[in-house]
Structure 1
């Protein structure tokens, strides 16, 4: 089996962050969060990186990554846009934002022909996660056996507002039984009374800090493209009048599991995630990266 591909979701508009965080600098020499993910991926044995972007970002993304990655890993780009005809949808629907993360994955279907891993551009996952995923994608993955990296929700929170997470139910054998996208997870209370909750239909529900969640770090075979293509037209039809509806990645594995098409191994990691959802998160990310550089986990200058 050849080297796996890293698929980076970098088409988001960063509405809460306030700028194009995909290319914002956080490391000692202005390294982006994506730089650290790609560095970890190269060290773990990935052979290609594909960036999913909006077409208007192409020039800045190419200038940021192509030259410095030349000779280190193969680089390609795919566009997430509003042309639905290539996904079997004949109608034109006016929207201000694309159709979500699973729609983004579909946009790379012609760029990937082997096992691949999906990550968010603005999430820092750490060395352990990439090593474990590379091992899975080279030794275990098949059309009926895929995976996700399972973070503890308590290790993935922001102190500055709500976050979205795919909340997992995990079987005793370590496989995902279901995953539900919760788009409003946050801290409530102070001190000893502080806890994690998610809100649904204006009702708060408690969430155990050790609950396994998806951070959109998935290990797939190309079979997932066909499942997305099969489900997307009906999703669009059902949500044509809902400008906020999104075709999320977790809905695809959830469908596959419930229809006995594949199992999804939940690869556990105790790593503490960090990322930039809000402007206030930037300082924390910079300090966290500086600490990892000081510890020798990363060189001061990556590339």
Structure 2
């Protein structure tokens, strides 16, 4: 059975100012999602599951279905604020869903095979998908996971702060700890993460999670248990979010699973702010000129 690619595409792009999931960046109007799916198919993935919002489902499907039909199996699931277990309620005034862990749970009923999970607005590079596919082929154990890690300094924006999961590994390359830093930025050539009035310098060489992980279906049980605990403790807060990174970290520390950090030389770039767009377009143009991607990605 071929593995699945799960794409988190429900974010509304508040800092970006629009649906960056569908922004045209390639020579024939391709989005970053197009390149992610193209690389996944080349690597050997057989299905793509999109986590989206119902408010833009029609526009999203009408764009991607013609491109992907006959090339890969597709499924669509929806992340909405009210999609939570029946014993919990949405607090008055909450506007956004509950984070990446909540988004991932929307796919638990349609994924029954090993899978990789990615962000819709991050360009991970061909090598990353090939590495993920190899790991799945070589590690069939239900409790062996993996994360594709990138050096922090290569994942920042020139136009504002970013959120990153900063990782610590053991001598064999297995993940020991991951800390979600929601505000990392550059200042006078140095890199800091900010917490209120405090700031802490980082070297820039720390491996970080860009939300490219490899999981087995067993992870959904851990995720659901963790989300239920989160909702019991923080479900009435207006802005708290549940990250699947956090669940993975807790699963590792409890001894229920291991996670190998796959270091990659693949080129990463992404869009957080509108000002990032020209740089991404230029990077894609260079990769196209180098022959890594065809000028018309989905040409028959």
Give the alignment's TM-score, normalised by structure 1: 0.95
Q: Is the aligned partner of 1:281 residue 2:276? A: yes
What CA distance in whole angstroms lies between the structure 1 residues aligned with 2:236 and 2:3?
38
What CA distance in whole angstroms lies between the structure 2 residues aligned with 1:137 and 1:7?
14
Question: 1:226: which partner in 2?
Answer: 221
Distance 1:141 1:204, change over 3 A: farther
Q: Is the aligned partner of 1:240 residue 2:238? A: no
Q: What pairs with 1:90-239 in structure 2 (closer than 5 Å)?
A: 90-94=88-92, 95-189=94-188, 194-239=189-234
| TM-aligned CA deviation for residue 275 of structure 1 | 0.8
Instruction: Give 5+ residue unaligned stretches, structure 1.
Output: none
Distance 1:272 1:68, change over 3 A: closer
Question: 1:259: which partner in 2?
Answer: 254
Question: 2:45: which partner in 1?
Answer: 46
Is contact 1:84–1:91 with CA below 8 Å preserved after alignment?
no
Is contact 2:88–2:231 with CA below 8 Å preserved after alignment?
no
Q: Secondary structure at the match of 1:34?
A: helix
Is contact 2:81–2:95 with CA below 8 Å preserved after alignment?
no
Instruction: Give 5+ residue unaligned stretches, structure 2.
Output: none
Q: CA RMSD in A?
A: 1.1
| TM-aligned CA deviation for residue 68 of structure 1 | 1.2
Partner deviation per Cα, 1:59-105 (whole Å, 9 max, x = no partner): 011101111111110011000012344x3533343420000001000
Q: Secondary structure at the match of 2:56?
A: helix
Moved more, 269-278 or 40-49: 269-278
Q: Secondary structure at the match of 1:217?
A: strand
Paired residue total = 297
Give the alignment's TM-score, normalised by structure 2: 0.96
Is contact 1:149–1:268 with CA below 8 Å preserved after alignment?
yes
What CA distance in whole angstroms lies between the structure 1 residues aligned with 2:174 and 2:278?
36
Q: Secondary structure at the match of 1:251?
A: helix
Moved more, 129-138 or 28-37: 129-138
Is contact 2:88–2:235 with CA below 8 Å preserved after alignment?
no
What CA distance in whole angstroms lies between the structure 1 residues aligned with 2:128 and 2:140?
16
What CA distance in whole angstroms lies between the structure 1 residues aligned with 2:271 and 2:196?
26
What CA distance in whole angstroms lies between the structure 2 residues aligned with 1:243 and 1:92?
9
Is contact 2:90–2:236 with CA below 8 Å preserved after alignment?
no
Moved more, 159-168 or 88-97: 88-97
What CA distance in whole angstroms lies between the structure 2 residues aligned with 1:224 and 1:130?
20
What CA distance in whole angstroms lies between the structure 2 residues aligned with 1:130 and 1:157?
21
Q: Secondary structure at the match of 1:61?
A: helix
Question: 1:296: which partner in 2?
Answer: 291
What CA distance in whole angstroms lies between the structure 1 residues aligned with 2:87 and 2:114?
27
Task: Tell me which stretches of 4 or more aligned residues in structure 1 moved more than 2 Å.
Answer: 82-85, 87-94
